[in-house]
Amino acid sequence: MNQPKHGEITPQTTPPPYNITLSKEDADGDESNKWILTVGSLEEDAPTYDGILIVIENSGKLKHLGTVRRQFKKVKNACGGKEAWTHSTKWSDKEKNDDRRQTVWEFTPAEGATEGPLFKIHLVQTFSMFWTNIMVSPAGVEYKLEEQE
């Protein structure tokens, strides 16, 4: 899935208001091959989001680290055969999930991988306000605004 659509509405052409980070996991000072992807923030005034799609652009496994089960699910038969995760109705249900400001994920590269992780993220704040093609790597976050028009 290159660019999700919401009817005739086009994605935003400004960077999203969400903090997105990717950092190497360093459990107790031990070297690890795992990475932590954080989308959003738990700051009091941080904006919530209604939906997310994370596409893994290289091989490895992604796991949601939240405490509520089944808030996210794998996308099947989409995204060019790449592993992808999206929100479930449990995430979107404001009565069941009153804090939709942040998600935290753990990524483990495939054995023998020589390059760092690369993700393409699409975020939905509301049906009419969403961002696509947010590229996240160890080098940082890049907003592919030219591809959003």
Tens digits of per-residue pLDDT, 17-50? 999 999 987 756 566 789 999 999 999 999 988 8
Least confident of 20-24, 42-46, 95-99, 120-124: 95-99
- Mean pLDDT value of segment 107-120: 89
Average pLDDT, the chain: 82
What pLDDT is stored for residue 133 in this prediction? 92
CB atoms within 10 A of CB 55: 23
What pLDDT is stored for residue 21 in this prediction? 95
Enter the DSSP assignment of 113: -
Say what the pTM is: 0.84
- Whether 114 and 99 have beta carbons less than 8 Å apart is answered as no
Instruction: Identify the band that residue 149 occupies on the pLDDT scale cut at 50, 70 and 90.
Output: very low
What pLDDT is stored for residue 35 in this prediction? 93
Q: Which residues face 108 on adjacent strands?
A: 61
Q: Which two tokens stand for residue 97?
A: 């999930």
Q: Is the pLDDT of residue 67 over 80?
A: no
